Amino acid sequence: MSHELQNGLPNVDATTPAVLMLLGPVAKDEVPRLCADVRALLTATGAGVVVCDVAGIGPAGLAAVDVLARLQLTARRAGGRIRLRGPDPALRALLGLVGLAFEMEGQPEEREQAHCVEKAVEPGDPAL
């Protein structure tokens, strides 16, 4: 498995997340290095989010789930979080099956209200 940090980190501001690309199957001996990379990216950018591009991670399996869970734990311990980019449907299904919730690119964050959603106001509701 190889991974690469995308160029441009010196120009990244606190609102732009860094990207960690995961390419190919992940070997167990690479996990500590990947976790160190997540910590370093969170520290370098100050954004609080590392985007893990998992489009090239290979077949969805428990090894991939284990790596992503460890990266998420590392990010949480460092005060950040992981956002997944490009997971295939099988990986998304497997993450849901084992009960791991990841933020995915293109989905609104939990704190954000989805666009085009209007709240209904019932007659007699007190004004806020």
In three-state form (DSSP H/G/I as H, E/B as E, the rest C), the secondary structure along 45-61 is: HCCCEEEEEEEECCCCC
* DSSP letter, residue 7: S
* DSSP letter, residue 47: -
Q: In terms of Cα–Cα distance, which of 62, 3, 12 is closest to 38? A: 3
8 A C-beta contact, residue 74 and residue 50: no
Class of domain 2-104: alpha beta
Please tell me the pTM assigned to this model: 0.70
Q: Mind listing the pLDDT tens digit for each residue in 37-72?
A: 999 999 988 889 999 999 988 888 888 999 999 999
> Which sequence spans correspond to the domains of the chain?
2-104
Q: Mind listing the pLDDT tens digit for each residue in 64-122?
A: 999 999 999 999 999 999 999 999 999 999 999 999 999 998 765 555 555 555 556 56
Which residues are bridge partners to 56 per DSSP?
23
**Residue tagged 């995961």 (tokens):** 22
CA distances from 79 to 6, 41, 42 (A): 22, 12, 8
